[in-house]
Amino acid sequence: MEAQLQPQIKPKPNSFWYQFNIVLQRIVVYTFLILLSFLFLFWMYVLIINATRPSSQIQQSFSALPGTFLFTNFNTMINNTNIRLVEALWNSFFIASLSALLSTYFSALTAYGIHMYHFKLRKIAYVFILIVMIIPSQVATIGLLSILYQFRLTDNYFVLIVPAISSPATFFFMKQYMESVLPFEIVESARVDGSGEIRTFHQIVLPMIKPALAVQFIFSFVGSWNSFFFPAMIIKSPNKRTVPLIISELRQLSNPATFDLGLVYMVIVCAVIPLVVVYFIFSKHIIKGVTLGSIKG
C-alpha cells in the first residue's frame, strides 16, 4: 500500500504556540541586540571616563566614575608640541571629506552608466569591478607604493585622495540601490523632454538616491579617517600627519617611565568626536538607504 502523505499542520496566527514562538523569537533577537549595544556603549564609556583620570589611576584599577583630570589632560594635549592634534584633525578631516565626496560621486556616476546604458562590454565591466572588490587593498597598495616612490609622489595629500575615488564596494551598493529606486521610464521621460545625460544625472538621479549617497559618504568618511597603513607609508612631514598617525606615535614620543595614559585617552576621544558629528548629521538617511537598497522592484 502506498503511504499516504499527510499535510503539515501549521499553527494558526491566533493560537497559543504561534504567539509563543513569536514572543520567543523577539526575546532572543532583542537580548542579542541589547548585549551588542551594551558592549559598544561600555567601551565608549570607559574611553570617556579614562580621559578624565590621571595615568597613575588608570594603571592601578578600573573606575566607573569620572575623575577630575579632564581639563588637565586636555591642556597637556594642547600644549604638547609633538602631538599637533588640531593640525592632525584638520588634515584627517580634509582628506576624509574630499575622499568620501569624490568616491561617492564617481561611484554613483559609474553605477548610473552601467545601470542605464546597454553596451557590449557592460557585463564584463560589471564583473571586473566585482572581482576588484574581492582583492585585498593591502595587495594593491604594495604596487601603488612602488610607483609613487619611483616617481617621487609621496608626502602629499593628492596620493591619498585620488586612489580613494576607485571604490568597488561603493559602486556595488549604488548599483543595487538604483535597481530598486530608479526605473528606466524616468530617465527616458527626461530624455524625451530634451534633458541631457549630465543634467539628468545631477537633477533627477542624485536627488532620488540621496539616502544611498549619505550612507556611502559616512562609510567612506569613516574608512578614510581611520586609515593608517597607506598614510603611514606616504606621509613623512610632521605637519601633514593624520590622527591615526598621531595616536600610533604617542608611545614613541613618550618616555616609558612617564607614559601618560590620560593623554592617550584624551587624544582618542578628540579623534572620535568628528566621526560622531558626521554620523548624526547623516544618520536619518542610514536606515532608509540600507532598507531601500536591499529591496528590488
Contacts of 86 (CB under 8 A, 6+ apart): 78
Same domain as 239, residue 123: yes
Domain of residue 59, residue span: 16-73
Whether residues 277 and 131 fall in one domain: yes
**Quick one: pLDDT at residue 1?**
43
- One domain for residues 28 and 148: no
Decide: helix, strand or coil at residue 61: coil
Q: What DSSP designation does 119 have?
A: -
What local confidence, expressed as pLDDT, does residue 12 receive? 58
pLDDT for 110: 92
Task: Outline where the chain has alpha helix (H).
Answer: 16-50, 55-60, 70-79, 85-116, 122-133, 137-150, 158-161, 168-181, 184-192, 197-200, 206-208, 210-225, 229-234, 243-253, 261-293
- Give the pLDDT confidence score for residue 293 in this predicted structure: 46
For residue 54, what pLDDT is reported?
A: 87
Domain match, 30 and 150 both? no
Do 60 and 110 belong together in one domain? no
Q: 3-class SS at 265? A: helix
Q: What is the residue-level pLDDT of the chain in tens, covering all 297 positions?
A: 444 545 555 555 567 677 878 888 899 999 999 999 898 889 889 989 998 988 888 888 888 888 888 888 888 888 877 788 888 999 999 999 999 999 999 999 999 999 888 888 888 988 898 888 888 777 778 778 888 888 888 888 888 898 888 888 899 999 988 888 888 888 888 888 888 888 999 988 998 888 889 889 998 999 999 988 888 888 888 888 899 988 888 766 555 566 778 888 888 898 888 888 888 887 776 665 555 544 444
Query: What CATH number should be reported for the domain holding residue 120?
Result: 1.10.3720.10
The confidence score (pLDDT) of residue 70 equals 86
d(CA 40, CA 48): 13
Task: Identify the CA nearest to 94 among candidates 219, 217, 216, 221.
Answer: 221
Residue 7 lies in a domain: no
- pTM, whole model, 2 decimals? 0.81
The domain total for the chain is 2
Q: Same domain for 247 and 148? A: yes
Q: Which of 260, 225, 230 is nearest to 244 (CA)?
A: 225
Do 103 and 23 share a structural domain? no
